[in-house]
């Protein structure tokens, strides 16, 4: 009985260990109100060693734009569309408001 459990666990572990070989690992940091110089790598007084390490070892995409408020930025990230086309480019979408991304819109995580 114990040998069977060990064998099943070994197979399960080997499957999990190889799972990252099939897809790229992507981490997206979406941080509200974080400026270009707000990490220690750019001279900020607060140490951010983990973010600095990811910055130095990862891919930097530096040709983009964002909106000054969170709702349009998040909607654009989730849909791949311009916030103006989504109709939410100038305000934060609050739970009681009757606006936001249309329910028929295609979200990237659903792909």
Residue 51 has pLDDT above 70, yes or no: yes
Half-sphere exposure of 24 (CA within 13 A, CB side): 5
| pLDDT (mean) for 19-48 | 80
| CB-CB contact of 39 with 61 (8 Å) | no
Q: Model confidence at 103, in pLDDT bands (50, 70, 90)?
A: confident
Residue 3 has pLDDT above 60, yes or no: no
| CB-CB contact of 89 with 83 (8 Å) | yes
DSSP 40: G
Q: Can you tell me the distance from the alpha carbon of 51 to that of 31, in angstroms, rounded to the nearest whole number?
A: 12
What's the chain's average pLDDT? 78
| pLDDT (mean) for 15-28 | 64
pLDDT of residue 111: 62
Q: Can you tell me the distance from the alpha carbon of 102 to that of 54, in angstroms, rounded to the nearest whole number?
A: 34
């Amino acid at each position: 009985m114990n040998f069977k459990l060990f064998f099943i666990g070994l197979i399960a572990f080997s499957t999990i260990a190889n799972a990252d070989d099939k897809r790229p690992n992507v981490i997206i940091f979406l941080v509200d109100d974080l400026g270009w110089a707000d990490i220690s790598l750019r001279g900020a007084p607060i140490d951010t060693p983990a973010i600095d390490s990811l910055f130095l070892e990862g891919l930097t995409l530096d040709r983009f734009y964002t909106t000054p408020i969170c709702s349009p930025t998040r909607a654009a990230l989730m849909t791949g569309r311009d916030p103006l086309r989504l109709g939410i480019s100038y305000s934060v979408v609050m739970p009681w408001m009757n606006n936001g991304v249309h329910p028929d819109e295609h979200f990237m995580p659903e792909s």
